[in-house]
Structures are given as C-alpha cells and as structure tokens.
Amino acid sequence: MKFLVTGGAGFIGSHIAEGLIASGRGDVLVVDNLSVGRVENVPKQCKFYQCDIRNTQKLSRIFKTVDIIFHNAAFVSIRASFDTKLLREELETNCIGTLNVLEASVKARVKKIIFASSMAVYGQPQYLPVDENHPTLPISPYGLSKLRGEYFCRIFQERFGLPAVILRYFNTFGVRQGVSDYVGVITTFINQLLKNRPITIFGDGKQTRDFVSVKDVVQANLLAAFSDINGTFNVASGQDISIKTLAVLLLKTYGRGRIMNLERPHGEIDKIRARLSKIRRELGYKPTGDLAKDVSLLLEWWKNKS
C-alpha cells in the first residue's frame, strides 16, 4: 500500500509517518509546505514533497497511486485564529486546502482519508464527558474551520464514495511539538521553566483539559486506517486535569519555578473531557499515556535538546 501524510513534517504528522513506517504496511509519502514543519522531522524512509495544500496542480500529481491519506496539514491555533491578519490564511489552509485534498483524493481514487479535526468543534461543552453526539457549536474561527472540514469530508463520502474517518484530537502533547504562544500548553510551560521564566496561566487556572499523548493519536490514526469502519471519533485520554494542577506538577518535577496569572483571552472553553466509549468499542483504541510520567520524560527531552 501507499500512504500519504499531509503536514507530515509537523508535530503530529511526523509521528504518524513514523508509526506507518514501523507498521511495515507500505510506502509513506509526506507533503508539507514547511511553514511550521521541519524537514528533519520527516523519517528518512519517507518520500518528501515540499508542497502547499493550496497548490491544486501539484497535489494532483503527488496523490497518484496513493491508497490512504492522513490529512493533518492545517493552520493550528484557537487564539491566533482571532487575529484578523491571520484569518484569511487560516480559512484558505483549513477550508480551501482541505477541499483541495478531498478533490485530489477523488481524482486519484484514494481508498480512504483520515481527517485530523479538533475538540474545538464542540465549543463550550454542554455536558461532560463530551461524546461524538455533542452539539458542534465552535466559539473560535479555528473550531469553525475544522467543523467545515468535517462537513466537506461527509459530503465527499456521500457524493463521491470517498470513505472518511474524522478524528477529533484533544490537547495533544509530546516530543517535537513546536514552541508557540498559541498552542501546546505543556510544551510552553516546559520551555518557560527551562528559560527561568514564570509559568504563565491565563485566568485562574481552574479550566480543565484532556491531554492526550501523541503516541495515542498515532494509535488512533493507524486503527482508523486499517479498519473498515468510518465515522467520527474523539481521540483523547478520557481524563481531565486543571491547568493550575498541571503547572504545579511541572514545578514539582523540575524542582523550581513560579506561576504568573494573566488575563484570559477570548475563545477558550472552561472545562472539557472526552468520552471514549465509541472509539474503544468500534476501533479498539486504548489510551496508554500516563500524564505524570510522560511530562517528566518530555521535560528531560527538552533539557537534552536545549
């Protein structure tokens, strides 16, 4: 078989590419425009194409003979999506880019597409834990763009017979996650500590999140790819932790540091935790992450990197 990972030089995409290589199920192609991703993240066994998913002609050529697409290329940030200077780029990448990927997949007669969506499609949870039937009422432009991508996938499945699996990632963390003011709170906290800066918490820190190891995100992608089942699934740990508790855990693990509270920005939810009964039942997903252990290992990785 032949697999293609869009955004495969990025954080999650490069781990999916690694997982596919390790599975030994076929050849792996990677597409990335390197706006955020890095060439060194791409496994050496992969064939790499520097290409923006907004380039329809180049996509069509690359997609020929591909069997399964893992679509992870995206403008990823809830907070940054409110910036009007970045909004057009987000819409073009997450909406038009996804449409281009789907059109190229149909032309190439791709057997299945795995679409990386987000918990941001739910908006402010009406109940916990959040299951896949929860109303989708995004409160950020980013969440809206991911929801549109989901609808595109469903339309192409119904209209053109392109099987689609939609994976709603929760707060993913792990090695190779980029340092940013907008995404990856665990990575952000670790780098603040290593630079002897205070851990910055937006608001009082009582807001909760469901953190999932990138290893489990890879597990979900491979299960989805090699299953005959389509549909929409939460990808998470099924556990929640407050941002303040997370910060305290990191301070204890590192051995020093302090917390500084900042004004909470727009577009962020209060509490969220995923229900995983559907993905467990239908795909056999079993989250393996241990937050305290994984955070400690990630801290050591960043120490060695810096």
Residues of the chain with CATH 3.90.25.10: 174-209+239-305
| 211-213 and 112-118 strand pairing | unpaired
Average pLDDT of 93-111? 97
- Rounded to whole angstroms, the Cα distance separating 136 from 154 reads 15
Q: What is the pLDDT of residues 36-53, one digit of tens each?
A: 999 999 999 999 999 999
What is the per-residue pLDDT for 78? 60
What is the per-residue pLDDT for 77? 64
Roughly what angle, to the nearest 10 degrees, separates helices 185-194 and 243-254?
Answer: 40
Q: Is 164 helix (H, G, I), strand (E, B) or coil?
A: strand
What is the per-residue pLDDT for 54? 96
Encoding tokens for residue 104? Answer: 């190229």
Annotated active-site residue 127? The verdict is no
Whole-prediction pTM value? Answer: 0.96
Residue 219 CB burial class (10 angstroms; 0-12, 13-18, ≥19): buried
pLDDT-derived band at 17 (thresholds 50, 70, 90) equals: very high
CB within 8 Å of 80: residues ≥ 6 apart: 86, 90, 142, 182
- Rounded to whole angstroms, the Cα distance separating 158 from 163 reads 9
Residues of the chain with CATH 3.40.50.720: 2-172+212-235
The rounded Cα 14 to chain-centroid distance in angstroms is: 11
Candidate list 49, 122, 127, 142, residue with the active-site label: 142
The pLDDT > 70 percentage for the chain reads: 95
Q: Is residue 43 reached through a cis peptide bond, with omega within 30 degrees of 0 on the bond before it?
A: no
Tell me which amino acid residue 149 is.
G
Tell me which amino acid residue 85 is.
K
CATH 3.30.70.100 fits 174-209+239-305, yes or no: no
Q: What number of H helices and E strands is found in the chain? A: 10, 13
CATH 3.40.718.10 fits 2-172+212-235, yes or no: no
- Rounded to whole angstroms, the Cα distance separating 66 from 111 reads 8
Residue 228 CB burial class (10 angstroms; 0-12, 13-18, ≥19): exposed
Q: What is the pLDDT of residues 234-282, one digit of tens each?
A: 999 999 999 999 999 999 999 999 999 999 887 789 999 999 999 999 9
pLDDT-derived band at 168 (thresholds 50, 70, 90) equals: very high
How high does pLDDT run on average in the chain? Answer: 94
